[in-house]
A and B are shown apart, each in its own frame.
Chain A
Amino acid sequence: MNFITIDKKDWAGGIDKSRKTYRVFGPVQDENGCQLKPLAPDVYPLMDAGVTVMSPKSVLFPQTEKMLTATLDESSEDHHIMKPVEKDNTPRVVLGIRPYDARAIQMVKLNFDNPDYQDPYWCEAYDATTFVGLGINRPDSCDFSTSAGTGPFSEEGLDVLMADLDDRYLAKILTEKGETWAEACGFDTSADAAESQALFDILRKEAEKNITASVDTDRLSEKSILDLYEAPFWDDVAFSCINCGTCTFVCPTCWCFDIQDETKHKTATRFRNWDTCMSPLFTHHASGHNPRGSKVQRVRQRFMHKLKYFVDKYDQGIMCVGCGRCVASCPVNIDIREVCKTMNNYEKE
């Protein structure tokens, strides 16, 4: 593993160099809060920003993505034949991604890239992307990442992990992709490996100590699905819910989508959009029947998926990285930490 040190004076220049080969994404502040966006040539990532309102999942899985297109012009030979749209899969780099968000990308990967299915759109975008994470020195109060199997300095899913040392970044190059990115930026001042690792360990421990929120997930896998499904607490959990899609849209691990065809003039386009299990439409059958017709059923589904079905199916813990976005953004203060506790502690009477 090699370590490099990046003087903050050289940071912007390095980013500029990398723009020749990379599309650069990073956190920026706008009037609607902190967002992760593709950066215009004169914009630099806000590395000390708080957690972004939306997660970085959109870099690989945009809220609306064109998949196929066809011409409806019958004078054209290939009319009505759906064809893949051209994608910009030139290298891209996400700067300042939070370590738990990189772990979340690996979770989403289970859905889009597995032995049974490989989603070409997601996979190609994934292959083109380098994730440069920044360790979180001061976790916020909604962060419960350490009890969700990741943490403020977790390395999983990252190509580079950086630590903010006031006047410089210390960067741990974790993959070949990471190395290529560092080269493209011209960052080549190597740092002593043993010393650097020791420093990372100290920072990680300090940061983990500052995480005040936690959830117990140890008993979820031993619970019976039906007991949890039929548990009496769902009405109370769901009461305040307004069934908006906020929690699922801000979530870095929610991967559900919906396919839509639209036509405009002589062009047909097939899109995929983020879907949300909070919406009645999510399960609305063509017959008119809706197996999840009520709010409480939908709320239960979201938590059962994240905290039980996923746990059972993948044996990789909960489908949550503890970023706290849904806790902070839920307009009616439904708190997944409380629900997880209720589920983990539930005993059927």
Chain B
Amino acid sequence: MDTCIEKIRTICADLLAKGEVQKVIGFAEGSIPMASRPIAVTSKDDVEKLVFNATCGLNLANYVSEALPKDGKIAVTAKGCDSRNLVTHMVENQVSRDRLYIIGIPCTGMVDKRKIAALFEDEITDFIEEGDTLTIVSPQKKEKVSKTDVLRHNCRMCTHRNPVVFDVMAAEPVEEQSLDQPFADVDQIAAMDPETRWAHFQELTKNCIRCYACRNACPLCYCPTCFVDESSPQWVGKGQDKTDINTFHFLRAFHCAGRCTDCGACVEVCPMGINVRDFTRKLNKDALELFGWEAGLDMEKRPPLDVYSPDDPDDFIK
């Protein structure tokens, strides 16, 4: 996927040289294998720092509001999911379209770093990506795997790989995936009896350290003060009590209802490898089935939990 990086760099150098944007938000090479780092480039001489590869799994829409200068524009590189979160940001009045220059990147998915690490008994010391072929090296072995086989779950389930909004595209659009069972994971949990399902979620969060990386990596979580950080009233205890940990996860998920683009950043950043998407995916399914809604596709439409409709599927609201 690195093939479009030269085009990205050219576009960015040009934008910065002409002063059309004050900075470009993109990804830089990380300091350890399989890592990348969000970066703001302000000079055309630094565009060489920009990279794009299958480890760029964070959502850059998360950086836009904070990086925005008082006046003028910034550019942001956007995968399909990033672009949908930019749309969500615009719909929710977090940023206006005319302040952004969106460099769209058609995306063939990001790799699941834990899945790759699990293929090795020892530490991964090198990671080379050439098209769909990944060469992964550890002190004990060198393995070639197909990127398709180690994609993150959300990328395997993605049906919006191409940016939905952009000023320029960095490459030709890629073919969108069509899925027979887009919510098999949700259905599996839904089929559990209540005790098993409860146990599943208890087990899921058992190692949560409440670092809030999932919340902080999420472009949707921009409340000036999150409910878990309120002290007066204090809605939720701050310790490792199971009820408090669950309260955080449940409420965070509900707060994302009808807004989540399933970008996977929350799972990507969790230091404990918790699949927090198990909470949000059900809500995405409900939004789709009840309201025909997928977040971040249309700048003109209000989100389903933001509007009244006479044909609402629930009786109580009519």
Contacts and interface: CB of A to CB of B under 8 A. Distances in A.
Interface of A: 30-33, 35, 50, 53-54, 62-64, 138, 140-142, 239-240, 242-246, 249-250, 258, 260, 262, 271, 273, 276, 279-281, 295, 327-329, 331-335, 337-338
B62, B125, B207, B231 pick with most chain A CB within 10 angstroms? B207
Nearest to A334: B37
Interface residues of B, number: 42
Nearest to A274: B209
24 contacts: A31-B273, A32-B207, A32-B272, A50-B122, A50-B123, A54-B209, A63-B239, A141-B33, A240-B63, A242-B217, A244-B216, A246-B211, A276-B211, A279-B212, A279-B229, A280-B229, A281-B229, A331-B58, A331-B217, A331-B271, A333-B37, A334-B37, A335-B31, A337-B31
A244 B31 contact: no
B213 A244 contact: yes
Q: When A and B form their complex, which 7 residue pairs have the shortest distance between CB atoms, in order from nearest?
A: A331-B269, A244-B213, A64-B239, A64-B240, A242-B216, A245-B211, A333-B37
B77 to A, nearest CB: 14
B213 A246 contact: yes
Nearest to A248: B211
Contacts of A260: 237-239
B274 to A, nearest CB: 7
A281 B37 CA distance: 25
A132 B88 CA distance: 53
A246 B273 CA distance: 12
Interface string B93-129: 0000000000000000000000000000011010000
Interface in B166-214: 207, 209-213
A243 B221 CA distance: 13
Contacts, number: 108
Given A244-B217, A258-B238, A260-B239, 11 more contacts: A31-B273, A53-B271, A240-B39, A242-B62, A242-B269, A273-B240, A279-B212, A279-B229, A331-B58, A331-B271, A333-B35
B280 interface: no
Contacts of B66: 295
Among A31, A53, A54, the most chain B Cβ lie within 10 Å of the Cβ of: A31
Interface string B22-64: 0000000011110111111000000000000000001000110
Contact of B213 (A30, A53, A140, A331): A331
Interface in B253-293: 268-274
Nearest to B114: A33
A327 B123 CA distance: 14
Contacts of A276: 211
A240 to B, nearest CB: 4
Nearest to A262: B237
Given A142-B32, A239-B38, A338-B31, A64 B241 contact: yes
Contacts of B271: 53, 246, 249-250, 329, 331
B261 to A, nearest CB: 17
B38 A332 contact: yes
Nearest to B208: A32
A104 B270 CA distance: 24
A43 to B, nearest CB: 16
A333 to B, nearest CB: 4
Contacts of B216: 242-244
A175 B63 CA distance: 51
A62 to B, nearest CB: 8
B194 to A, nearest CB: 22
A110 B269 CA distance: 32
Contacts of A280: 229
Contacts of A334: 37
- Residue picked from B38, B66, B67, most chain A C-beta under 10 Å: B38
Given A54-B209, A141-B125, A242-B62, A273 B238 contact: yes
A273 to B, nearest CB: 5
A242 B37 CA distance: 11
Nearest to B36: A333
A142 B125 CA distance: 10
A260 B234 CA distance: 11
A141 B58 contact: no
Nearest to A54: B209
Nearest to A142: B32
Contacts of B207: 30, 32, 35
A239 B37 CA distance: 9
B31 A327 contact: yes
A165 B138 CA distance: 23
Contacts of B38: 239-240, 332
B211 A249 contact: yes
A250 B229 CA distance: 21
Contacts of B37: 240, 332-334
Best-buried of A31, A53, A333, A337 by chain B (most CB within 10 Å): A333
A140 B239 contact: no
Nearest to A245: B211
A223 to B, nearest CB: 23
Nearest to A286: B231
A63 B209 CA distance: 8
B123 A141 contact: yes
B212 A244 contact: yes
B149 to A, nearest CB: 21
A333 B31 contact: yes
Contacts of A240: 37-39, 63
